[in-house]
Amino acid sequence: MPNLVEIRDLHFAYGARAILSGLEMDFPRGKVVAVMGGSGSGKTTILRLIGGQIRAQRGTVVVDGEQVDAGNSKAMYGLRRKMGMLFQHGALFTDLTVFENVAFPLREHTDLPEALIRDLVLLKLHAVGLRNAAQLKPAEISGGMARRVALARAVALDPQLIMYDEPFAGLDPISMGVAANLIRRLNDALGSTSIVVSHDVHETFLIADYVYFLSQGRIVAHGTPQQMRESDDPYVKQFVHAEADGPVPFHYPGRSLADDLLQERRQ
């Protein structure tokens, strides 16, 4: 099976408000695939559906040949053993040390002896350059370092699938470059499939093999980063080149300023 994750005819809504409509997506094994689009386009919702945190109204999500069923807790617990997740802003346990944060999934999902857990944690921290920060608390390290600790935790179990929710948000340019490089290197070293949800065009295009662009819950374009750079699609052009004018308007939709001023005068 060439794809680790397959999404077919996926529909999701919060009540009457449609979030995703008719998604068809493939995430090949061993590749880094980016999911991009404006705020509210449904990017993080896709990660939550793959992880079984929420259930779609229609359609299927298949991970490693197994259909995701958010209502089956036992099956989801086993399936999540194959997944790693880097949450937006890291989401480290603030009262635990760096070491204990990375050890957490190993203790939760395995019966490995403590001596082996110690070695594995130190290896993961070494891979992200933070082995010597093992005994520090999250408050004692920088935001960029905290994101790298979260990355070490996400890959602690050598997962087949790693999901990244805005991994570059709030990082300085150096930390952003380090994080992007680590995502690519760890993906290749582990042979994993990585799904990167991000707004950052430059860093994401440097590491992604393929890109999906979402707008209003639908895929409006997809292809390699180079194809997206050269795309004539108005939405993709506006997003990739950070243009103020385009399909995404500057003003919130509604009455014009002229109408509002004239109404005021009539009153």
pTM (two decimals): 0.83
Q: Which domain holds residue 155?
A: 31-56+69-248
pLDDT tens for the chain, 267 residues long, are: 689 999 999 999 888 888 888 899 999 999 999 999 877 778 889 999 998 888 888 999 999 888 888 777 888 888 888 888 888 766 888 899 999 999 998 998 888 999 999 999 999 999 888 899 999 999 999 888 888 899 899 888 888 999 999 888 877 888 888 888 888 988 998 899 999 998 888 889 999 999 999 888 889 889 999 988 888 887 787 878 766 555 555 455 567 666 777 765 666
**pLDDT at residue number 248:** 53
CATH no. for residue 190?
A: 3.40.50.300
- DSSP-derived letter for residue 168 is T
Report how far Cα 188 is from the mean position of its chain's Cα atoms. Answer: 17
Q: How far apart are CA 233 and CA 238, in angstroms?
A: 9
- For the chain, the domain total comes to 1
Asked if residue 217 belongs to a domain, the reply is yes
Between CA 32 and CA 38, with CA 35 as vertex, the angle to 5 degrees is 150
How many Cβ atoms from other residues are within 10 Å of residue 251's Cβ? 7
62 in a structural domain:
no
Does residue 197 lie in a domain region?
Answer: yes
Residue 118 lies inside a defined structural domain of this protein:
yes
